[in-house]
Amino acid sequence: MNGRTEPSEAETAIARPPLVRELLLVAGLFLVYKFGRQLATGHTAEAFRNADRVWDLERAVHLPGEDSVQHLLLHGDPLVHIANTYYAAVHFPATAAFLIWLYLRRPAHYVWARRVLAAVTAAALVVHLAFPLAPPRMLAATGLIDTGQVYGPSVYGPPQTDHLSNQFAAMPSLHLGWALMVAIGLIVATRSRLRWLWLLHPLLTLLVIVGTANHYWLDAIVATAMLGIALAVILPQTSAGATPISLRSPRPASTAAGRGAGKPVPTARDEEAVDEGSVLAGAAR
């Protein structure tokens, strides 16, 4: 690997937070996420009323129908099966791997990324409690099918017997919010010119969550807005010792050297001489 992907000396010199503490914090984040979703169960009637409102609002503002994405997936059984697998298997592992990689390889970016994820998750749980929402796969008016149940694999059972998840917590979509944060974090923390390809992860996630009828477009829009607010609040609070956050690729050393070829590099003594000359010139006026 070259200098564009390897951490700089300044980054590797930054002390990592204590490992045990971070493991407990991240594990607590996932547990709160799971437990918090359970608190919103049992609001079936309200969840379906809210689903009707969301569906009507999307039509009123002329958002594209979720069925357009699902029809693309239904062109072939392998494609919809891949989408269901992506929905079921990528969400948690990708986010966990992202945090682990930042902790080990980019400690300068780990803390703010973890804080943003925690803030978005906490805010999402509040919305889940205040605004229970049935997903489009449950709403007859959408005309969508539950691709997980029909084609597999499915992460959900019948809502009345599913005690592991709250299926009425569609808004906001943490699938999309976490995927977008992973992409942003990797873009910021790496230097390769190809790092923008990480945006394919949230893009694929968006198509999957909509095409499998697990989320509305508005679920993704709200998640994106919440992530934007979290970033705007937390990034300015990044500690002064952290590596400055930049989306620009560093200029290769060879290019910089080439442009400066033949020009002497000023030394500290030269700069002092210039300062003294300026003072003398000013005194002679």
Q: What is the DSSP letter of 200?
A: H
pLDDT at 256: 46
Query: Could you report the per-residue pLDDT of 2-44, keeping only the tens digit for each?
Result: 435 555 544 544 667 777 878 887 777 777 766 766 665 667 8
Q: What is the Cα gyration radius of the chain?
A: 25
CA neighbours closer than 13 Å in the CB half-sphere of residue 26 = 20
pTM of the model: 0.77
Cβ neighbours of residue 31 under 8 Å, at least 6 residues apart? none
Query: Could you report the per-residue pLDDT of 131-183, keeping only the tens digit for each?
Result: 999 999 999 999 999 999 999 888 886 665 555 567 888 999 999 999 999 99
Determine contact, residues 170/86, Cβ cutoff 8 Å.
Answer: no
Q: What is the mean pLDDT of the chain?
A: 80
- At 248, the pLDDT band (50, 70, 90 cuts) reads low
Domain residue ranges in the chain: 9-237
pLDDT at 233: 94
Which of 45-59, 118-132, 214-228, 263-277 bottoms out in mean pLDDT, i.e. has the lowest?
263-277
